[in-house]
Amino acid sequence: MPILADAWFIHAATNGKHSGPAELVRGEMEIDDLQPNEVLLAPLFGSWEGNMTHAIDRDPIDICEARGYERCVIGNSGVARIVELGADVTDLKEGQVVLMGAMDTDAWGYPKKLMAYDMPVQGLMRTRMKLRSDQVLPLPENTRHDLTRWAAFNVRYPTAWDNWRIAHGTFRLLINEEEFPRMNVWAWGGGTALAEAHLATLLGHSGVAIASTPERKELIESMGVKAVDRTNFPALQFDERRYKTDEEYAAAYRDSETAFLATVAELTGGLGVQVFVDLIGEPVFRATLKALGRQGIVATAGWKVGMRMKFLRAVECIARHQFIHTHFAPLSEARKAIAFAEENEWLPIIDERIYDFDEIPELAANYAAGKYRMFPVYRINGE
């Protein structure tokens, strides 16, 4: 008997590469027979994240075109229940709840490609899927936390965990805990950056996250992290070309940057930031560097608004600033992140509305229009 799944697809562009955003289309999908090293999964809840909107926008890549698919299922963050084990799978159980850890790794165990993003494994916006047994990460048995929260934990939190591991370790090479116990850890951006500021806060550091809406600031504060209002610095969007040619823009930028650096000085007692998590990129990078204290660290795993960075080596060397770049996490670290989260409630607080499977196109439209708080979740087979 073939295994059938109800799924939301995006289709390949019919008239070339730049034919506009994809539509979500509901359809049936036949899944190949379960192989001995695989598990059959019923995805329960998924979390809507930026990469899914990029996939729909076909920007920066058209996933169907890149993989030669006629249609594909997106979604790489969520929780699933194991419904059947392949004949050789001995370390997992039917009924167990897992996260998706599907990725191609290099010889060091680091991710090269991620499921339903740049790796040719279809995503979880469907009622059944299968993965190799080593591509799932079991949650603690009888977890005390809601599965919807774990759905939004899946990609962003292990990313934040591993980024913090390297940033924190690097800072501790420069100055030890006795000399400087409590670091100022600031974060630009959304869910992943907030996860890292929250982690630092739980570990006793002073965490700050920057956001622009009252709902997000309230969420940040409810996690014990200090919120800084991005709207106080309205022109803090650096554009080098404009800065050189448009005096009005340059003056407004400088005013916002000065106000931002005054806020940093005030909240860090003049010491500056020790770890600045910047998943935004170009528009904020100049201010990020200026906000760092001596031997401060810029930590990144993302480039929401620009990948190319420019800085003066001499200035950064003399300041002993360090630059940390990571991508998701090795599975060994993702397992540690799960254990820490269970123990310490290091988990996202998800948006109030959970979208039903039928409502996924509405969720996609709301996300694209910015109508979400931070962690929107949808239901697949979950109750």
Ligand X SMILES: NC(=O)c1ccc[n+]([C@@H]2O[C@H](COP(=O)([O-])OP(=O)(O)OC[C@H]3O[C@@H](n4cnc5c(N)ncnc54)[C@H](OP(=O)(O)O)[C@@H]3O)[C@@H](O)[C@H]2O)c1
- Residues at the site binding ligand X, with contacts judged by CB under 6 A: 49-51, 155-156, 159, 188-193, 210-213, 216, 230, 237, 279-280, 283-284, 301-305, 327-328
CB of 43 to ligand X, least distance (A): 19
Contacts of the segment 24-28: beta carbons below 8 A, 24+ positions apart: 24/56, 24/360, 24/361, 24/364, 25/71, 27/71, 28/4
Q: In this complex, which beta carbon is closest to ligand X, that of residue 212 or of residue 245? A: 212
CB of 158 to ligand X, least distance (A): 8
CB of 70 to ligand X, least distance (A): 26
CB of 279 to ligand X, least distance (A): 4
Whether the bond into 21 is cis, omega within 30 of 0: no
Q: How many Cβ atoms sit within 10 Å of the Cβ of residue 246?
A: 13
Bridge partners for 136 per DSSP: 100
Q: In this complex, which beta carbon is closest to ligand X, that of residue 38 or of residue 49? A: 49
Please name the residue that has the structure tokens 């209002």.
229
Q: In this complex, which beta carbon is closest to ligand X, that of residue 41 or of residue 210? A: 210
Residue 257 φ then ψ, to 5° = -65, -40
CB of 3 to ligand X, least distance (A): 30
CB of 46 to ligand X, least distance (A): 14
HSE toward the beta carbon, residue 373, CA cutoff 13 A: 19
Which residue, 127, 142, 140, 10, is CA-closest to 80?
A: 127
CB 101 within 8 A of CB 80: no
CB 380 within 8 A of CB 44: yes
CB of 135 to ligand X, least distance (A): 16
Q: In this complex, which beta carbon is closest to ligand X, that of residue 51 or of residue 148? A: 51
CB of 56 to ligand X, least distance (A): 14
Q: What letter would DSSP give residue 230?
A: G
Pairing assessment for the beta strands 322-325 and 292-300 based on DSSP bridges = parallel
Taking the C-alpha atoms of residue 282 and residue 303, their distance in angstroms, rounded to an integer, is: 8
Q: ∠ CA 350-355-360 to the nearest 5 degrees?
A: 120
Per-residue exposure over 332-367, b if at least 16 CB sit within 10 Å of its own CB, e if not: ebbbbbbebbbeeebbbbbbebbbebeebeebbebb
Q: In this complex, which beta carbon is closest to ligand X, that of residue 127 or of residue 237? A: 237
Residue 196 φ then ψ, to 5° = -75, -40
CB of 201 to ligand X, least distance (A): 17
Q: In this complex, which beta carbon is closest to ligand X, that of residue 26 or of residue 112? A: 112
Q: In this complex, which beta carbon is closest to ligand X, that of residue 142 or of residue 332? A: 332
Q: In this complex, which beta carbon is closest to ligand X, that of residue 89 or of residue 374? A: 374
Q: In this complex, which beta carbon is closest to ligand X, that of residue 188 or of residue 346? A: 188
CB of 231 to ligand X, least distance (A): 9
Which residue, 209, 214, 165, is CA-closest to 348?
A: 209
Helix (H) or strand (E) run with residue 354 in it: strand 354-355
Q: In this complex, which beta carbon is closest to ligand X, that of residue 95 or of residue 370? A: 370
